[in-house]
Structure 1
Amino acid sequence: MAQTLENKKSMVWIRVLSIAIPLAVAVLLSLPTKLDLGDWVYGLPHAIGVVNTLTSICLIVAYVAIRQKKVKVHKQMNSAAFVLGAIFLVLYVIYHASAESTPYGGDDTTRYIYYFFLISHILLSIGVVPLVLLAFYYALNNMIDKHKRIVKYTFPIWLYVSVTGVTVYLMISPYYP
């Protein structure tokens, strides 16, 4: 009975975080006045690009490791990707709460490509939060069958979000102030 109650509590926390994280980001991004944290924040997009790149690498290495039945490496790389995701979130919020958004300055053709990647990246980043939390919950609680079922969706979405984060960064970086 205690395990079932603990599972229910965990699922409630996963639901709460899955709503609270995107909601908090949306609120912070829509602040009418940006926070004045100093000029150092203008270096954050480059750090965010590095974090997204490292996350992508960790996810790919984790995938290869599990295919090779290297469970320890798989766990380490996914844990690193999870921590990098948290770091990304903090850096992203700090930057966007304190700096105006940079408009894309490319031509019409590349603008459509940029916005396709940006919009799909944003929408899928919201949807991947509960999937990642559930995948980690199942893995940490040794519910490997459930973990395997959910990561069939979680991995490609998380990798897409991570790679498109790098793509969007590379496309917008020439236009940063």
Structure 2
Amino acid sequence: MEQVLESNKTYLRVIQIVSVVIPVVVAVLLFAPINLSLGDQGWVRALPGVNAVINSLTAVLLIAALIAIKKKNIRLHRTLMLSALVLGTLFLVSYVIYHASTTSTVFGDVDHDGVLSSAEKAELGSMRGIYLFTLLSHIGLSIVVVPFVLLAFYYALSNQISRHQKIVKYTFPVWLYVSITGVLVYLMISPYYL
């Protein structure tokens, strides 16, 4: 029993560490960029589109997993959810590579000078507010949901089904929202990529 408790503590500690490291890395990339000098490579420029596809597939897997568990198909549910977790990990790696290699694209920056002029702002109108709300809610909730997703997986894999069911009531819709808004953010900003 003592070994099980120690094992639980280890897993929970890993979840805590990962839940802190991910937002710190993202913050560093956004506010103190690292330049890997890969930005001129075609495959790096393709990563935002790849990330949108990953987010789309994640949303589909999450919905399919919900349907599977409603039909009591636990094996399919588990496979779909593990696939969504793998996609989330691939997204994170791709996101880090992209943002460590290029400067951030400014929404509405038609002339690609990295500055949103007053004329560009005026042309955007209320779309800028919609974009910023979508982006900020996406980023904020993606940071918040990570520890809950990891805990949900931990509870499921350690057969703590009651705890798993309680946490996924809140985690699932947030993860789904983050996946869908990731695609929406890409669709909104993609016209401004070089």
> What TM-score bracket applies, with the shorter chain setting the length?
over 0.9
Q: How far 1:39 moved relative to its partner?
A: 1.9
Please identify which structure carries the higher helix content: 1
Q: Which runs of 5+ in 2 are unaligned?
A: 109-122
2:162 paired with 1:159? no
Report the AA paired with residue 69 of structure 2.
Answer: I
Aligned residue in 1 for 2:12 = 11
Rounded to whole Å, the distance in 2 between the matches of 1:161 and 1:85 is 11
Partner deviation per Cα, 1:116-169 (whole Å, 9 max, x = no partner): 100000000000010010000001101100000000011000000000000101
| Alignment check: 8 A CA contact 2:33 2:99 kept | no
Q: How far 1:32 moved relative to its partner?
A: 4.6
SS of the equivalent of 2:46 reads helix
Which among 30, 44, 47 is matched to residue 44 of structure 1?
47
Rounded to whole Å, the distance in 2 between the matches of 1:110 and 1:19 is 32
Aligned residue in 1 for 2:65 = 62
| Alignment check: 8 A CA contact 1:102 1:176 kept | yes
Q: How far 1:46 moved relative to its partner?
A: 0.7
Structure 1 stretch displaced more, 103-112 or 1-10: 103-112
Larger Rg belongs to: 2
Report the AA paired with residue 23 of structure 1.
Answer: V
Report the AA paired with residue 175 of structure 2.
Answer: W
2:191 paired with 1:174? yes
Rounded to whole Å, the distance in 2 between the matches of 1:29 and 1:121 is 15
Aligned residue in 2 for 1:53 = 56
What is the TM-score normalised by the length of structure 2? Answer: 0.88
SS of the equivalent of 2:107 reads coil
1:131-170 matches, within 5 Å, as 131-170=148-187
Aligned residue in 2 for 1:75 = 78
Rounded to whole Å, the distance in 1 between the matches of 2:63 and 2:70 is 11
| Alignment check: 8 A CA contact 1:29 1:93 kept | no
Which among 86, 99, 102 is matched to residue 99 of structure 1?
102
Provide the identity percentage: 54
Aligned residue in 2 for 1:22 = 23
2:141 paired with 1:124? yes
Q: Which runs of 5+ in 1 are unaligned?
A: none
Corresponding pairs, count? 177
| Alignment check: 8 A CA contact 1:31 1:97 kept | no
Residues 33/128 of structure 1: CA separation in 2 closer, same or farther (3 Å cut): closer
| Alignment check: 8 A CA contact 2:33 2:103 kept | no
Rounded to whole Å, the distance in 2 between the matches of 1:100 and 1:108 is 24
